[in-house]
Chain A
């Protein structure tokens, strides 16, 4: 998936002359934490976060709080060294940027002009979608040898049951020569598929059965 498909294009922005007070109002009104600062032609020149605003606001413990400071322009407190991305970047790459730079929001630029924004919340939502957890499904975990063709074999067995696969995750097993396939399959009754997988020699890690004393 590319950034273009998940970014928000309806971005709340300010010009550099706007006051800190205006920025506070916008952040509260839209329940956001970042505002990109742009020129008339949408060229990005900086960004402010709720923390920057807080730093610029006198402490509530100060008597006679001098709120005149809130009339200063945002250009005085904005960060100008902004980490940005392009609409054609891959979502996976962007998640690494979020993680490594410990940031919470990335403005998306095309020819230096602001075209969208992605927050860590948007990122997380996209990852949730990738797991398939929002669609009705059963969760299946199969341990397979770390060789080519294993996923295809498991998938073709599921296809045989006319069962749709909502998502697939492949993660390394603690045993080096194995991988674990996590599949979300569109059925309420995975038992037949589980039995067939077991009969075909696969190690099905979940679902397990309760042991019943007969």
Chain B
């Protein structure tokens, strides 16, 4: 019987800028280990990735950019020329063999795609992927090659399917949105902290697509300090209505875990309740519209000890129909507490009242509800007529 697959090998951790960098793929290993310690990963479900070739990268990226990344990774680069490609900045510093490390992540996502699209797996998960800020010719926001955009373009060409891209990272999924802005066969939905204060600043309600793609880009910019209840309301309503309107052949989800209240880079206040909801509804949509075809990748998430492993493990558990609540596996806690600079949480759920009450809660909830109705205005209008 077909099962979900988990794309993983330790080589994926080679995507590492430096020791002080907030983007740290050690979180993928921590998640893998958490799932292993509860026996949720069987050997046949774990698939090692293959490096993506230049032709695959060039589905989205400029050849000149790919060459610049290769050269930079070999230590052969000119500082000012690199900077025009967004390389050598504090966000995306140059590191040895950065091309190989980045291309392996793309290959991992493509492998996830092929497993699902060739009918070898029901769903597929590549937690090392989700580098949604990468642009055609420029690195941005910790992302070098945009595995999401490449995978979507790959699916469009190889399988000719309509793709629904759902991005729940706290940052706007700009790279993917702009790559398919005029394409009516790729529908993008991004729920993120308002760009007024958070990178990349785009992702406003008014960004709806252009030309043939008009009406196929959805953005829900939510207020800073948004909590579970409001977040989940927006996610459920928008995803259900958009899926019904677009009727995708396959769903591709980007699962940045940086909307969590512990995340140091953003100002949202989600807890594990949100991260329990995200994959459950994604699976429901995949089963209802796509014959189960669902590819999930990781993304942002900078509290790598407390927030990310629990949030990402949920995706795999939901894919496999495994329920988990209460205490985390003690083997995992005992193994990693020694190495963690912070106290690890002991349960799957976050404590009640884990953060100070947000004084503007009602105002934020109202504002978000308004954002939701504006973002869905077009499709609700179309339904009425």
A136 to B267, Cβ gap below 8 A?
Answer: no
Q: How many residues of B contact A (CB 8 A)?
A: 32
With known contacts A136-B133, A162-B90, A163-B90, A210–B201 Cβ distance under 8 A: no
How distant is the Cα of A161 from the Cα of B88 in the complex, in angstroms?
A: 11
How distant is the Cα of A128 from the Cα of B264 in the complex, in angstroms?
A: 29
Q: Which one of A24-32, A116-124, A144-152, A183-191 is at the B interface? A: A183-191
B22 to A189, Cβ gap below 8 A?
Answer: yes
- What B residues does A67 contact at CB under 8 A? none
Q: Report B43-101 residues with CB < 8 Å from chain A CB.
A: 83, 88-91
A211 to B356, Cβ gap below 8 A?
Answer: yes
Q: Report A134-181 residues with CB < 8 Å from chain B CB.
A: 134-139, 161-164
- Per-position contact with A for B258-280: 1 when CB-CB < 8 Å, else 0? 00011011010100000000000
A138 to B198, Cβ gap below 8 A?
Answer: yes
How distant is the Cα of A31 from the Cα of B55 in the complex, in angstroms?
A: 41
B355 to A207, Cβ gap below 8 A?
Answer: no
Give the residue among B171, B198, B353 with the most A Cβ atoms within 10 A: B198
Q: How many residues of A contact B (CB 8 A)?
A: 28
How distant is the Cα of A188 from the Cα of B134 in the complex, in angstroms?
A: 12
- Interface residues of B, dominant DSSP: loop
Q: Report A39-84 residues with CB < 8 Å from chain B CB.
A: none
What's the minimum C-beta distance from A157 to chain B, rounded to whole angstroms? Answer: 13
Give the residue among B90, B171, B174, B262 with the most A Cβ atoms within 10 A: B90
A188 to B91, Cβ gap below 8 A?
Answer: yes
18 more CB-based (< 8 A) A-B contacts, given A191-B264, A207-B267, A208-B267: A132-B201, A138-B197, A138-B201, A162-B83, A162-B88, A162-B89, A163-B89, A188-B133, A188-B200, A189-B91, A210-B224, A211-B356, A212-B261, A212-B355, A212-B356, A213-B353, A213-B355, A213-B356
What are the 6 closest A-B residue pairs judged by CB atoms, nearest first? A136-B200, A188-B141, A188-B199, A138-B199, A211-B356, A212-B355
